[in-house]
Amino acid sequence: MGLERVFERDDPAFIPYLTAGDPDYEASQTYIEALERGGADLIELGLPFSEPIAEGKTIQDAIVRSLEAGMTVGRYFEFVEELDVDVPVVCMTYYNLVFQYGDSEEGPRPFVEKAAEVGIEGLVVVDLPAEEAGPLRAACDEFGLDLVFIVAPTTTGDRLDSMKTQVSGYVYVQARLGVTGARDDVDDATEESLARLSDWDVPKAVGFGIKTGDHAERIVSAGADGIIVGSALIDIVAEGHENGDDTETVADRLEAKARELKEGARRGAQNRPQPERT
């Protein structure tokens, strides 16, 4: 049953994010495969958009590198088809790319149809709130994709109720306000956010600012079913790129970082609260 299968209660999901094609097509494929070896349970794969208003500098830079290296929507779908990984892939992007694909008269449907064809199992569209998501939700239902929504610390009341009815696969819990980017500590807002979602029956994956195994441990022990990590991994890609390190070396570092994060999440699961906790 869709992406929910990824979230086993005793084995919290580790969900890495990378921008497809950063810093180039081939290296990016190798990096994603390394993350799977390091314990990734699901990959959030960024389709780069030229105006990424929700991203901090780390992911912005990754998007620029990828676009400059020639990433397009067509190449992205080829990229997913060629990926040698067994875990599910979720496409993370902005609505204009989804909206423009194929015949614009059909809205988001052609994009979703193509995504399903290449094996993408879910979508996160960061600038598409539940209020505007009707046509995309319908297309995802038609082609069997999950539609993941982001819950922010500022999301409350009616908005939570509306998202609860539309979300599937998992819910992306934004750990703190602001844009993406690795941080040195974990915000208390995470626990409050998880408490607000305690009666949702989809898995809760927490992202924004997770950088180390210790962060992962704390987030999972606070009740998360999974952790999403992007900027801390892209920092490794960016540093390797700037230093001219070879692809295998960078891939090894990514695999080691993935292992650290996955193990941290597993430690967190050992002292995780019981499901009835509110």
Partner 1 sequence: MSTDDAHDPKFGEYGGQYVPEALMPAIEELADAYERYVLENEDGFMDEFRERLADFGGRPTPLQYAEQLSARYDTDVYLKREDLLHGGAHKLNNALGQVLLAKYMGKERIIAETGAGQHGTATAMAAAHLDMPCEIYMGETDIARQRPNVFRMRINGADVNPVTVGRGTLKEAISETMRDWATTVENTHYVIGSIVGPHPFPKMVRDFQAVISEEAREQTIEKTGGLPDAVLACAGGGSNTMGTFAEFVDDPDVALYAVEAGGSSLSVDEERGVAPNSATLSTGEEGVLHGARTKLLQDSDGQIMESHSVSAGLDYAGVGPELAHLVDEGRVTPVNVDDDHALEAFHRLSQDEGIIPALETAHAFGYLEEHHDDLGESVVVNVSGRGDKDLETVIEETSKRDLDIAPDMSVFDTGGMMNPDSGHTDGDH
Give least dist CB 7 to partner 1, A. Answer: 21
Closest to partner 1 by CB, 174 or 221:
174
Task: Please tell me which residue in 33, 36, 44, 217 is annotated as part of the active site.
Answer: 44
Distance from first CA to last CA of the chain, Å, rounded?
A: 26
The nearer residue to partner 1, 135 or 245, going by C-beta atoms, is 135
Closer CB to partner 1, 159 or 259, in the complex: 159
Q: In what order do the strands lie in the sheet with 89-93?
A: 146-148, 120-125, 89-93, 43-46, 13-19, 226-229, 204-207, 171-174, 150-151
Active site residue 55: yes
Task: Take residue 2 and report the two structure tokens written for it.
Answer: 């869709």
Between 117 and 248, name the residue whose CB sits nearer to partner 1.
117
Q: How far is the CB of 145 from partner 1 (least distance, A)?
A: 19
User: What is the contact surface with partner 1 in residues (CB under 8 A)?
Assistant: 49-56, 60, 64, 67, 72-74, 94-97, 99-101, 104, 126-129, 131-132, 149-156, 159, 174, 177-179
DSSP 11: B
Annotated catalytic residue within 33, 36, 55, 217: 55
Give least dist CB 261 to partner 1, A.
Answer: 24
Q: Any catalytic annotation for residue 44?
A: yes
Angle (deg, nearest 10), helices 73-82 and 25-37: 40
Nearest distance in Å: CB 68, partner 1: 10
Does residue 56 contact residue 231 with C-beta atoms inside 8 Å? yes
Q: Where are the beta strands (DSSP E) in the chain?
A: 13-19, 43-46, 89-93, 120-125, 146-148, 150-151, 171-174, 204-207, 226-229
**Residue 270 burial (CB count, 10 A):** 10
Catalytic residues: 44, 55
